[in-house]
Amino acid sequence: MNRLKLAENEYQRRVDLNKRGLTSQSDVDTQQQNMLSQKKLVQEIENQLALMPDERGVSEALVKVNQAKADEAQRSLEKTRITLPMTMRISEVDAEINQVVNLQQTMVTAHLNDVMEVEAQLSIHDLQLLSDTLSWDENQAERGELDKLQATVELSSGNLTATWPAKVARVSETVDANQATAGVILEVSQLPSSNGLAGTPVLVNGMFVKATIEGQKQQSWSVPERALHGDKIYLMNAENRLEMRDVNVEYRRDNQVIISGDLEAGEKVILNDILPAIEGMLLRDSQSDDDNAGEVTQ
């Protein structure tokens, strides 16, 4: 206010001097601009002083609201109890004592002890072979057919080898884009009280294991691997002549090839290599040499 009063007096003095011709009009205008600037500053200060009671009331209200939120949070904290629903193995802890945690924040990662899941990756072809051994019925639940599959999980580490029976729980809903394989989820039951340090080890998250899945037994033609010549097998017919028979390879297992085709039980399959192999050529049966002849088994 004092500066404004001084600016007004100075402006009036310049006006009087200008009337007597002792100062220029530009000096009067400059002093007028200074006076108006001081008036503007005074007006802004007066406006702020006028708004202070309202702003103080708003600030006091915000303090009360935040205090109510703090009281509510304290009551919620007193009622909060964090417990595991069952006995589990702690895998990772992301919170410490007296640490502030937000809603939906992960505090602990834990796994069940009694049941572990193993995802076995199978090719689409192998998965189809397993499916073909089951009798799917639209009126029958999928769970009942999956229970007919036999599965084992094997852990091998150095001199340690452990095997667990497993149950086929489900088939993954996605296919691995890189390997073109489908996941089959196996469930392995184990003792929840075991710590894995004595006796039979326990499966833990991240272990590398080998899974074996077997379908139901089916009648099929099985020949040794060496009896297969591309998509044909060599047979010796009743006239002791070479006969080449087209077959379809279903799958391989334990050095045996499971095939399908126009075959009959008791037909003689040739196991040794014949060079050259000519359809209808005369053969000699060597029954005493197991490495040279055999029969197709069913």
Q: How confident is the model at residue 290 (pLDDT cuts 50, 70, 90)?
A: very low
Within its chain, how far is the Cα of 104 from the centroid?
19
Q: How confident is the model at residue 199 (pLDDT cuts 50, 70, 90)?
A: low
- Which of 264, 254, 253 lies closest to 296, judged by CA? 264
Within its chain, how far is the Cα of 293 from the centroid?
52
Lowest mean pLDDT among 87-101, 125-139, 163-177, 283-297: 283-297
Span 144-167, average pLDDT: 87
The 10s digit of each residue's pLDDT in 19-33 is 877 778 888 788 888
Alpha helices (H) in 136-216, listed in sequence order: 142-146
Summary mean pLDDT of the chain: 82
| pLDDT at position 1 over 70 | no
Please enumerate in sequence order all residues whose Cβ is within 8 A of that of 284, keeping only pairs 6 or more positions apart, or say none: 240
Q: How confident is the model at residue 55 (pLDDT cuts 50, 70, 90)?
A: confident
Q: Give the model's pLDDT for residue 143.
A: 62
Q: Give the model's pLDDT for residue 71.
A: 92
Residue 208 backbone phi and psi in degrees, to 5: -95, 120
Q: How confident is the model at residue 292 (pLDDT cuts 50, 70, 90)?
A: very low
Number of other residues whose CB lies within 10 A of the CB of residue 260? 11
Number of other residues whose CB lies within 10 A of the CB of residue 162? 15
> Residue 107 and residue 105: Cα distance in Å, rounded?
6
Number of other residues whose CB lies within 10 A of the CB of residue 151? 21
Q: Does domain 221-295 bear CATH number 2.40.420.20?
A: yes
> Residue 234 and residue 224: Cα distance in Å, rounded?
12
> Residue 132 and residue 294: Cα distance in Å, rounded?
29
- Which of 276, 274, 278 lies closest to 286, judged by CA? 274
Q: Tell which wins on pLDDT, 179 or 191.
A: 179
Q: Give the model's pLDDT for residue 198.
A: 55
The residues with which 164 forms a beta bridge, in sequence order, are: 153
Number of other residues whose CB lies within 10 A of the CB of residue 63? 10
> Residue 222 and residue 296: Cα distance in Å, rounded?
7
Q: Give the model's pLDDT for residue 227.
A: 86
Q: Give the model's pLDDT for residue 195.
A: 57
| pLDDT at position 294 over 70 | no
The 10s digit of each residue's pLDDT in 249-287 is 888 877 888 888 888 888 888 888 888 888 888 888 766
